[in-house]
Amino acid sequence: DAGITQSPRYKITETGRQVTLMCHQTWSHSYMFWYRQDLGHGLRLIYYSAAADITDKGEVPDGYVVSRSKTENFPLTLESATRSQTSVYFCASKGRESSYNEQFFGPGTRLTVL
Amino acid sequence: DAKTTQPPSMDCAEGRAANLPCNHSTISGNEYVYWYRQIHSQGPQYIIHGLKNNETNEMASLIITEDRKSSTLILPHATLRDTAVYYCIVSSGGSNYKLTFGKGTLLTVNP
């Protein structure tokens, strides 16, 4: 299916475990983004990527690792999950050909760290 | 990027126009005003953007004051499905296209 998808949609894990959230887009968009959304904070940017093999930190990168070996995928890894990383995570993408900032968001992954 | 100020909530009757205000008094010359919305539990959705001229698309209209210090998003005929949190964002784009979301305005459309 065309579009941007995230998996899993729901995940429960325990403190200290490694978790990877997947993001896949079928538009060949150059830019991809990871946000987290918590009550009282709105959406905050974790990491972003301008192209394959190019990533950069956003506002709240600590505790997260990203990679971008293929244009269509942008996985987010929590190396050792903590309770404070309980959140809803949204992935987004944007095409390079568009000069304005229209980002397309995925449906989100709801992560609970016990 | 400049900071924005929005009312935390607003109500609107179904079928009426919804006018959502946003203040961005520190906006600089190369910054655009973007509007996104987020329907409950879904990812945000782009609505419209503008620099200094008024803009209209199939979803909404954007009115930017002449001094660019404030703007209004207009949903001409609000429906129940327009109930969402609306975010006003100022962004210069550049090479990274980062968006900084505030808390937005919760618009509730009532039957």
- Is A107 at the interface with chain B, CB within 8 A? yes
Provide the pLDDT for residue B94: 64
Band of residue A72 on the pLDDT scale cut at 50, 70, 90: very high
- Tell me the two tokens of residue B47: 């609505």
Residue A89 has pLDDT above 70, yes or no: yes
CB < 8 Å to A87, chain B = none
CA distance between the termini of chain B: 37
Report CB contact under 8 Å: B43, A106: yes
User: Which residue do the tokens 């909530």 mark?
Assistant: B9
Residue A1 has pLDDT above 70, yes or no: no
Residues contacting residue B64 through CB under 8 Å, at least 6 positions apart: B33, B50, B51, B52, B53, B54, B70, B71
Task: List chain B residues with pLDDT less than 50.
Answer: none
Following DSSP, what letter does each residue of A48-100 receive, concatenated? EEEETTEEEE-S--TTEEE--SSTTB--EEESS--GGG-EEEEEEEE-TT-SS
Alpha-carbon distance values, B95 to A49, A69, B56, B103 (Å): 11, 20, 26, 25
Considering CB atoms only, which of A50, A92, A99 is closest to B96?
Answer: A50
Q: What is the mean pLDDT of residues A24-41?
A: 92
Nearest to B20 by CA among B68, B66, B63: B63
Considering CB atoms only, which of B43, B46, B96 is closest to A108?
Answer: B43
Task: Render pLDDT for A48-60 as a digit per residue (tens, 0 to 9).
Answer: 999 999 999 999 9
- Is B67 at the interface with chain A, CB within 8 A? no
